[in-house]
Structure formats: C-alpha cells, structure tokens
Amino acid sequence: LDTNFKGNRHERRVSKIKQFEEKLAPTYSSSGEGRIVILDHPLVRHKVSIIRDKNTSVKEFRELVQEIAGLMVYEITRNLPLVKIEIETPIEKTIGYTLEGKKLAIVPVLRAGLGMVDGILQVIPNAKVGHIGLYRDPETLEPVEYYCKLPSDINERDIFILDPMLATGGSAAAAISLVKSRGARKVTLVCLIAAPEGVERVHQAHPDVDIYAAALDNYLNDHGYIVPGLGDAGDRLFGTK
Ligand code: PRP
Ligand code: URA
C-alpha cells in the first residue's frame, strides 16, 4: 500500500488502511458479521494489474474484466452445497457429487457491472440475471436509481451483486437494499477493486453481506475515485468519455 502522502487527512487514511491490513489475512470482518475476501491468486493479481494500466485498450480491458470475474467464481461459489450420487466409471461404480440444485442469480449494477456478467455465466450458465441501474451523482456521490428488473423468485435464490468498483459504497449498499426489499435473503457482493471506505459502509448497512474483491486499494481521492484504482470502470469498459 502506498503510504507516501502527507497531511492529517492522509494520516487518518493511512491509519485506517493499517487497521484493515492487520485484519487482512486474507479474510477479515470489518464490522459485524460480514466478511471481505480478497482473491490474491497470482492470475487475478496479474490480470488486475493490466486493467489498472491506463494504456490498456478498451478491448483488452473488457476481456480481462470477464476473465477476472470468471476466476472469482471459483471462490464465490465455494460453499455451494453438494449431494452424493452414485456414478459408474468404465472401471466400477463409485460415489460422486453433484450440485444440490441451489438456485443462483447474478445482478450486475449498470453499467460497469455488465462487464462481469459473461465471465460468470461461462462458469455458472444456469444462473438467472437481474439488472439494477444506478449512477453516482457527480456532486453528492450518492447513487441515483434508474432501472430495476429482477427474477420473480428472487427470494428463493442466492444473489450475487456485481459491480467492479466499490468506492464510497453508496451504489453497492443501495443495490443490496433494493434486492432485499424485493425479498432477497442471501446476498453477496462481488467487485474487482474495493476501497476501505466502501467496505466499511456496506458492512455497516448490511452486516450479513459478504464481499469478495480482487483487490483492496488505499483510499478515495477528493472526487470519490479509488486510489490507485483503475479510473472510471464504466468508461473504460464501454469506451465512453
Ligand atoms: C461506478 C461503479 C459503481 C459506482 C461505485 O458507477 O461502477 O457502480 O461508481 O461508486 P460508489 O461506491 O461511490 O457508489 P458510475 O456511477 O460511474 O456509473 P456507470 O457504471 O454507469 O459508469
Ligand atoms: N467508480 C469508478 O468507476 N471508479 C472509481 O474509482 C470510483 C467509482
């Protein structure tokens, strides 16, 4: 983590980051029961470093966001229940395992969350997909909702909210509140880059929600951007701005 900055505000941030680091090993609870799991696998770290690079093209950025999201599925689905089944290999009968048939849904937060959808569906193709449209007001940094379409049986599904950037946490907390208000019971947040401020806000508002991230960054700058981050994820994915 970069601690090469000065001033009281920065010192407070450094101290906050240190508190997080102490708990980061690699799973910790920031407050309440919610966990944050950082996927520090070498492949993930390699790919995250490329998407951070400002010279990475839109095409490569898009491909890598999908690949990272796909790699994260391994960890976010670790606790899916299995049932034993009998199978017959060419050699003999044996016991195998099959997924219990638990229902899943992924819910990308528009726009940037869309970039993670295909990577996840490649690994869990039967998941249903809901959509939540939120944008961050550039002045207040608070989320503004403009769209919501969710599977009707959301109360029977494990919900994975997808958003590459967890900055102030306003968008993620609002998205989680929205799915809960429609009946969701088990919600997990999956992001690529998280800021300590966002982790804390989500866990304060939703202590029951686990957060999975590919990286935990240093702090937010005065414009609410994650430092070092990767810039504006939506713009980089869609080539806007
Ligand atoms: C970005 C990002 C998150 C949000 C994170 O979306 O994709 O949804 O900001 O910031 P927060 O944690 O402070 O709420 P943005 O508002 O830029 O919309 P976009 O995805 O449509 O570009
Ligand atoms: N949204 C982004 O896309 N990037 C940030 O750093 C913060 C919010």
More confident residue, 136 or 155: 155
User: Of the residues 140, 153, 185, 240, which is catalytic?
Assistant: 140
Residue 39 has pLDDT above 60, yes or no: yes
pLDDT value of residue 31: 45
What CA–CA distance (Å, rounded) separates 157 from 178?
15
Helix (H) or strand (E) holding 94: strand 93-99
Give me the interface pTM, i.e. the ipTM.
0.97
The mean pLDDT of the chain is 90
Residue 217 has pLDDT above 50, yes or no: yes
User: Of the residues 136, 157, 201, 236, which is catalytic?
Assistant: 136
Q: What is the pLDDT of residues 49-58, one digit of tens each?
A: 999 999 999 9
Q: What is the pLDDT of residues 144-184, one digit of tens each?
A: 999 999 999 999 999 999 999 999 999 999 999 999 999 99
Mean pLDDT to the nearest integer, 209-227: 97
Q: In the structure, how many helices (H) and strands (E) does the chain have?
A: 7, 14
pLDDT value of residue 15: 55
Q: Annotation-wise, does 143 bind a ligand?
A: no
Residue 182, classified by CB atoms within 10 Å of its CB into exposed (0-12), middle (13-18) or buried (19+), is: middle
Choice from 136, 141, 193, 206 to test ligand 1 binding pocket (greatest atom count within 8 A of CB): 136
What CA–CA distance (Å, rounded) separates 183 from 177?
10
Mean pLDDT to the nearest integer, 118-127: 95
Ligand 2, atom 7, residue with closest C-alpha: 225
Question: Could you confirm whether 235 is annotated as catalytic?
Answer: yes
- In the chain, pLDDT over 90 holds for what percent of residues? 80
What CA–CA distance (Å, rounded) separates 23 from 37?
11
Q: Annotation-wise, does 217 bind a ligand?
A: no
What CA–CA distance (Å, rounded) separates 51 from 33?
31
Question: Could you confirm whether 140 is annotated as catalytic?
Answer: yes
Q: Locate 9 and state its tokens.
A: 């505000």
Q: Contact, 114 vs 91, CB < 8 A?
A: no
Q: Locate 149 and state its tokens.
A: 């379409």
